[in-house]
Amino acid sequence: MNKRQFIKTIGTTAALTILNPLTALSFSEQPKISNDKKVLILGGRGFIGPTIVKSFLDGGYEVTLLNRNKTNTHLFENLPLIICDREKENKAGLKEIDKKYKDKFWDVVIDTWQKSPKAVSDFLEEFKDSIGHYHYISSVSVYDKWDKKFIKEDEPLNPLPELPKSIAEGMEHRYALRKTFAEEIIRTRIDNYTIYRSHGMRDYRSVDPNNIIDEPFWPIRFYRGGEILLPDVKNHHIQAVDVRSMVSFILHCSNKKTFGEFNIAFQPTPFKDYVSSLIHATQKPTRMHWIDGEFLIENGLIPYKIVPFWKPHPEGSYYFNVQKAIEAGFVHRPLVDMIKDQIEGYKHRYPKNDIKFGEQPDGRVKCYSLDQEKEIIKKWKLKNRN
């Protein structure tokens, strides 16, 4: 099937996804609010931090950063910076902070921490009386079971062992438990918080610009064009979240003083609608081959592990309920714009377009190679010819 034929076959839902009347959210479109509100951003120079910083600057906030001054130090050099290592035991890094910062009232604090939950606890013990509104970037991984569709914010969270007593002890737990611990710590210490349970964040940036494992497979694959293999699976839906849309909601919650927990992602979306957005973003490919899912598995293309955005189990993986966030003002920009940003970020990191998918030199596997794809397409054609 070529792209023109495919676009003609997409349903009403796909058309609405592509022709979304909302313009893409951008920093320049944020209201220029003139206020004296002070925001302390814990981090600010990593994956989602720069987007948060820029959004709040455009929103009229006075922004101060708190970090170790080791990551992307060229960013925001003119902003006030509190140099602090939150990973030091016994709050040693926090105790080194000048008293003037601890005595200052911070209208907003934004924390993206994903390592030891003890660092979250330590910070709140030192600053809780100086915070107007605390925002924490969490994850849908905090939910105990994903065995049903449309999980809401009041579903049970992961059962927790004893609270870590040290930074090192907290790091021994897996990511999902670290996030669950952090949420529990927040709820027991303050009530002026908003928690954002994000789901697969997508952005212009990558988590680790030097790591191919973090590069977005489908946007890159369509950007490269040619003949593309796609899983033909019944009721195949996907879900993730655009960082810029999420940050826009964080700013909105700050301005409106909206508290509570929120699932943050775009609505569960048919994979074929996502493909139509990839086509519109790239004006490619030459030809698409929709191949039966069982055939792909037989040939080594395992859902999720090898083929991204294909996760039939557990059932709720790409079906989180985001209605509460939408009713509170969350708007996800069109997928086409999110994809274009991902491609532009990739082109900036890899101007020669020379990364290779499949097995990596260190033995890790990132999706599948072009040679694998061509071979499976060839086998599929032969199977259907007989």
Residue 31: pLDDT band with limits 50, 70, 90: very low
CB contact at 8 A, 40 and 109: yes
- E strands, 203-357, are 227-232, 237-238, 241-242, 260-264, 269-270, 287-292
Residue 165: pLDDT band with limits 50, 70, 90: very high
Q: What is the pLDDT of residue 30?
A: 39
pLDDT in tens, 228-264: 999 999 999 999 999 999 999 999 999 999 999 999 9
CB contact at 8 A, 303 and 268: no
Residues 6+ away with beta carbon under 8 Å from 189: 121, 124, 125, 128
Q: What is the pLDDT of residue 26?
A: 40
pLDDT in tens, 80-129: 999 999 999 999 999 999 999 999 999 999 998 889 999 999 999 999 99
Q: How far apart are CA 58 and CA 52, in angstroms?
A: 10
Q: What is the pLDDT of residue 15?
A: 39
Which residue from 296, 285, 303 is spatially nearest to 373, judged by alpha carbons?
296
Q: What is the pLDDT of residue 210?
A: 82
141: its two tokens: 């991984």
Query: How are the residues of the chain apportioned to helix, strand and coil, as percentages rounded to the nearest 5?
Result: 40, 15, 45
Which of 330 and 208 is assigned the larger pLDDT? 330
CB contact at 8 A, 93 and 24: no
Q: What is the pLDDT of residue 2?
A: 56
Residue 16: pLDDT band with limits 50, 70, 90: very low
Whether 12 shows a pLDDT value over 80: the answer reads: no
Q: How far apart are CA 335 and CA 269, in angstroms?
A: 10
CB contact at 8 A, 228 and 262: no
pLDDT in tens, 310-358: 999 999 999 999 999 999 999 999 999 999 999 999 999 999 999 999 9
Residue 34: pLDDT band with limits 50, 70, 90: low
Whether 9 shows a pLDDT value over 60: the answer reads: no
User: In the chain, pLDDT over 70 holds for what percent of residues?
Assistant: 91
Mean pLDDT along residues 279-283: 96
Q: What is the pLDDT of residue 319?
A: 98
Whether 223 shows a pLDDT value over 90: the answer reads: yes
Q: What is the pLDDT of residue 1?
A: 56
Q: Before 334, cis peptide (omega within 30)? A: no
Q: How far apart are CA 25 and CA 197, in angstroms?
A: 20
Residue 386: pLDDT band with limits 50, 70, 90: low
Domains, the chain, ranges and CATH? 31-198 (3.40.50.720)
Residue 106's DSSP bridge partners are 131
Residue 11: pLDDT band with limits 50, 70, 90: very low
Q: Mean pLDDT in the chain?
A: 91
144: its two tokens: 């105990």
Residues 6+ away with beta carbon under 8 Å from 333: 20, 22, 24, 25, 242, 244, 245
Mean pLDDT along residues 375-385: 95
**What backbone torsions phi and psi does residue 110 show, to the nearest 5 degrees?**
-120, 125
Dihedral over Cα of 34, 35, 36, 40: its sign = negative
